[in-house]
């Protein structure tokens, strides 16, 4: 992948993050820094704490111990929430949901524009651009319930893109979707990185679609087990493709 401009700034920083649910420790003294303009992937087996860490970084959950800085501020102090886009794990949408794809994507623009302001040409252009980037322009007037699972997920990604976030966090956004949807997902992320300078943190088991585009891979298993360039993993014989068995062999080897 061609080099992207990368400032010396820090988009996300977590220090000594620990989380326990009862007697079970989920995260233990996790340190994590994502630099501005970086494309980083967070991977690990089921139950390794990936989603919990992402929610802590977003300010959606409080750690038992530790500190988080999101775009230079504590998550609770970040007033311009549009600066952060978030795509949660794949949602099960009701088949009779009346909202159209266009309406869902437009909602992603509201936080930036303000609900009380009438949409401008720039708002309409941003929505059109987001739809185009995930190849849903022709489906814009369909109800969400009429889309396939992969298309629904791409619509939710477009909703996040429409807000033109500085930082985009995605939690297993392509789990179980078809290969074509994964390719379109990859293309939309690369466009954000190369043309908008967006910082991306992707939580996923399925890195095959973006393996050649990543700057860093962070392996989490309660603690950070590895944090470095994909080439370092490749040198150890690790493949970042789709693994049927939840990546057990190399994850255990890194522990």
Residue 24: strand pairing partners: 21
pLDDT of residue 104: 92
Is residue 82 in a domain?
yes
Best CA proximity match to 231, nearest among 206, 203, 202, 211: 211
Tens-digit pLDDT profile for residues 165-189: 999 999 987 766 677 777 877 887 8
CA–CA separation, 160 vs 109, rounded Å?
8
Helix (H) and strand (E) counts in the chain: 7, 9
Is residue 135 in a domain?
no
Q: Which residues contact 127 (CB under 8 A, 6 or more apart)?
A: 102, 105, 106, 108, 109, 162
Is residue 126 in a domain?
no
CA–CA separation, 85 vs 130, rounded Å?
13
pLDDT of residue 113: 61
pLDDT of residue 1: 44
Best CA proximity match to 137, nearest among 145, 149, 129: 129
Q: Which residue positions in the chain have pLDDT lower than 70?
A: 1-8, 90-96, 112-117, 175-177, 239-255
Q: What's the structural domain count of the chain?
A: 1
Q: What are the b/e assignments for 210-220, b being 16+ CB within 10 Å?
A: bbebbbbbbbb
Is residue 118 in a domain?
no
CA–CA separation, 113 vs 238, rounded Å?
44
Phi-psi region of 18 (alpha: psi -120 to 50; beta: other; left: phi over 0): beta
Is residue 57 in a domain?
yes
Domain region containing 193:
10-90+167-254
Phi-psi region of 54 (alpha: psi -120 to 50; beta: other; left: phi over 0): alpha
pLDDT of residue 185: 78
CA–CA separation, 171 vs 202, rounded Å?
6
CA–CA separation, 246 vs 244, rounded Å?
6
- CATH number for the domain that contains residue 242: 3.40.50.300
SS (H, E, C) 116-181: CCCCCHHHHHHHHHHHHHCCCHHHCCCEHHHCCHHHHHHHHHHHHHHCCCCEEEEECCCCCCCHHH
Is residue 203 in a domain?
yes
Helix axes 101-113, 149-162, angle to 10 degrees: 20
Is residue 124 in a domain?
no
pLDDT of residue 91: 63
pLDDT of residue 244: 44
CA–CA separation, 60 vs 209, rounded Å?
28
CA–CA separation, 121 vs 152, rounded Å?
26
pLDDT of residue 116: 61
Is residue 139 in a domain?
no
Contact 50, 44 (CB under 8 A): yes
Tens-digit pLDDT profile for residues 214-251: 999 998 989 998 899 988 877 777 766 644 444 444 45
């Amino acid at each position: 992948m061609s080099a992207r401009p990368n400032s010396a700034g820090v988009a996300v920083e977590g220090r000594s993050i620990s989380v326990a649910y009862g007697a079970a420790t989920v995260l233990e003294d996790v340190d994590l820094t994502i630099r501005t303009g970086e494309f980083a992937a967070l991977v690990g087996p089921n139950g390794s704490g990936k989603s919990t860490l992402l929610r802590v970084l977003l300010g959606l959950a409080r750690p038992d111990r530790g500190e988080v800085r999101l775009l230079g501020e504590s998550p609770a102090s970040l007033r311009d929430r549009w600066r952060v886009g978030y795509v949660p794990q794949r949602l099960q949408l009701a088949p009779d949901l009346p909202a159209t794809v266009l309406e869902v994507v437009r909602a992603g623009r509201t936080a930036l524009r303000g609900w009380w302001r009438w949409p401008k040409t720039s708002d309409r252009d941003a929505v059109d651009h987001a739809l185009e980037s995930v190849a849903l322009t022709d489906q814009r007037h369909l109800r969400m319930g009429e889309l396939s699972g992969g298309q629904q997920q791409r619509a939710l990604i477009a909703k996040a893109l429409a807000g033109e976030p500085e930082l985009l966090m995605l939690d297993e956004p392509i789990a179980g979707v078809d290969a074509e949807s994964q390719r379109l997902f990859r293309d939309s992320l690369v466009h954000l990185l190369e043309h908008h300078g967006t910082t991306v943190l992707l939580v996923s088991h399925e890195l095959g679609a973006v393996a050649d585009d990543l700057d860093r891979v962070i392996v989490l298993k309660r603690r950070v087990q590895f944090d470095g360039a994909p080439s370092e993993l490749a040198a150890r014989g690790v493949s970042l493709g789709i693994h049927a068995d939840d990546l057990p062999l190399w994850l255990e080897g890194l522990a």
